Amino acid sequence: REHPPPAGSRVPGAAPRYSRRTRRVPVAYEAEAGPESPSPKWEPENWRQQLERIREMRRHRDAPVDEMGVDKCYDTSAPPQVMRYQVLLSLMLSSQTKDQVTSAAMLRLRQRGLTVDSILQMDDATLGQIIYPVGFWRNKVKYIKQTTAILKQKYGGDIPSTVEELVKLPGVGPKMAHLAMNIAWNTVSGIAVDTHVHRITNRLKWVKKETRYPEETRVALEDWLPR
């Protein structure tokens, strides 16, 4: 009686066995596998076309902000330190206030000589009468006095040169800080987002997901907008 050959042995006359594992031959036109390329950054669909339409709509620059915005409210002939202080004050007054009202209030202040020292010497009642009817004028009197005292004591009458320090001042938020950096210090530190920019960018879907507050919108916009 014949027994089967031991496992792994070759039967005489049988065809040789070949491994089922095939060795892949590289093809010349195939690139060698390398590190994965980063996924493309998210950006809104058709945002460039939308931006061009907005620029076209704004080409005449004839809105109140173009003639009476905070960048038009300070005395261009004043010393740089005084000019920067006036920029900051115009920003503080502009919150929840129309450009025309802010511009008129700044003009009345400048007619009295708008400096750190003049504001510190002015009593609250007089300051309130001058800036009225800007929005929340009573609170702004308090914030202006507090901030001006800090500027005098800590910064020698000048304003801080960083966003981090600016937002620590009473009555100064992120939007004001970024605008102050741009107008007063000629430095682009970020996007100034107010309630209007917040609302419009959400409507245009320029944020990856809907945001609830202007500061959230600023972070979302800076994440994808080209520098």
For 98-145, list the strands marked E by DSSP: none
CA distance 38 to 28: 25
> Above pLDDT 90, what percent of the chain?
81
Q: What is the CATH number of the domain that holds 136?
A: 1.10.340.30
Shared domain check, 227 and 150: no
Q: By the 8 A CB rule, do 218 and 189 touch?
A: no
pLDDT attached to residue 139: 98
pLDDT attached to residue 12: 53
User: Chain-centre distance of CA 58, in angstroms?
Assistant: 21
Shared domain check, 204 and 147: no
Q: By the 8 A CB rule, do 100 and 67 touch?
A: no
Domain boundary among 183, 204, 219: 183
Q: Which residue has the higher pLDDT, 134 or 9?
A: 134
Contacts of 189 (CB under 8 A, 6+ apart): 162, 163, 177, 178, 181, 182
Shared domain check, 178 and 73: yes
CA distance 146 to 203: 37
pLDDT attached to residue 48: 96
Size of the chain in residues: 227
Shared domain check, 173 and 102: yes
149 found inside a domain:
yes
Domains identified in the chain, total number: 2
109 found inside a domain:
yes
User: Which of the 8 DSSP states describes residue 197?
Assistant: H
Shared domain check, 146 and 209: no
35 found inside a domain:
no
pLDDT, tens digit (0-9, with 9 covering 90-100), for 155-196: 999 999 999 999 999 999 999 999 999 999 999 999 999 999
98 found inside a domain:
yes
Shared domain check, 71 and 138: yes
Q: Which residue has the higher pLDDT, 184 or 6?
A: 184
CA distances to 25, 91, 191 from 109, in Å: 82, 14, 28
Shared domain check, 169 and 197: no
pLDDT attached to residue 174: 96
77 found inside a domain:
yes
CA distance 67 to 171: 25
CA distance 149 to 127: 15
Mean residue pLDDT across the chain: 88
Domain that holds residue 107: 64-183
Shared domain check, 94 and 136: yes
Shared domain check, 149 and 209: no
33 found inside a domain:
no
* Helices 137-154 + 124-131 axis angle, to 10: 120
Q: By the 8 A CB rule, do 90 and 69 touch?
A: no
Query: Terminal CA-to-CA distance of the chain, rounded, Å?
Result: 87
CA distances to 107, 112, 176 from 157, in Å: 21, 18, 18
pLDDT, tens digit (0-9, with 9 covering 90-100), for 94-136: 999 999 999 999 999 999 999 999 999 999 999 999 999 999 9
> Above pLDDT 70, what percent of the chain?
82
150 found inside a domain:
yes
User: Chain-centre distance of CA 159, in angstroms?
Assistant: 20
Enzyme catalytic residues = 175
Count of CB atoms situated within 10 Å of the CB of 70: 25
Q: By the 8 A CB rule, do 212 and 205 touch?
A: no
Q: Copy the structure tokens of residue 81.
A: 């330190």
Q: Which residue has the higher pLDDT, 34 or 161?
A: 161
Shared domain check, 170 and 69: yes
Question: Residue 8 above 70 pLDDT?
Answer: no
Shared domain check, 227 and 176: no
CA distance 143 to 95: 12
* 109, amino acid identity: L
Q: Of the given ranges (13-17, 48-52, 143-147), which has the lowest mean pLDDT? A: 13-17
220 found inside a domain:
yes
Shared domain check, 97 and 201: no
